[in-house]
Amino acid sequence: MVKIIVGSNCKGCETCVNSCPVSVYEIIDGKSVPVRVEECIPCRTCESNCPEGAIQVIEAEIKPEKEMPPKIKAKQRKTKKSLPTTDKSKKKAAIK
């Protein structure tokens, strides 16, 4: 997951718009706006090319998913039943 911060010192020069390989940015009201953050591939080209140093790309940690409710866990346990034993395995068990 990526977070992009565009500082107030952005001059709207379009460097980020023209250098981003996945077209994350657009100029809106004279300022750069990351309108497609989900497309960002954190290459940091925008960050390194911005003449004002106005862009900051932050790679956020992905948090583990929340614990599943007990009812869902119980359903999963029920569906993971062991496979039935074959006749050969019963014979081996009887020999021991």
Query: Mind listing the pLDDT tens digit for each residue in 15-57?
Result: 999 999 999 999 999 999 999 999 999 999 999 999 999 999 9
What is the residue extent of each domain of the chain? 2-59
CATH of domain 2-59: 3.30.70.20
Per-residue CA distances from 24 to 27, 37, 69, 89 (Å): 11, 6, 37, 60
Query: pLDDT value at position 51?
Result: 98
Query: Mind listing the pLDDT tens digit for each residue in 56-75?
Result: 999 977 666 666 566 655 55
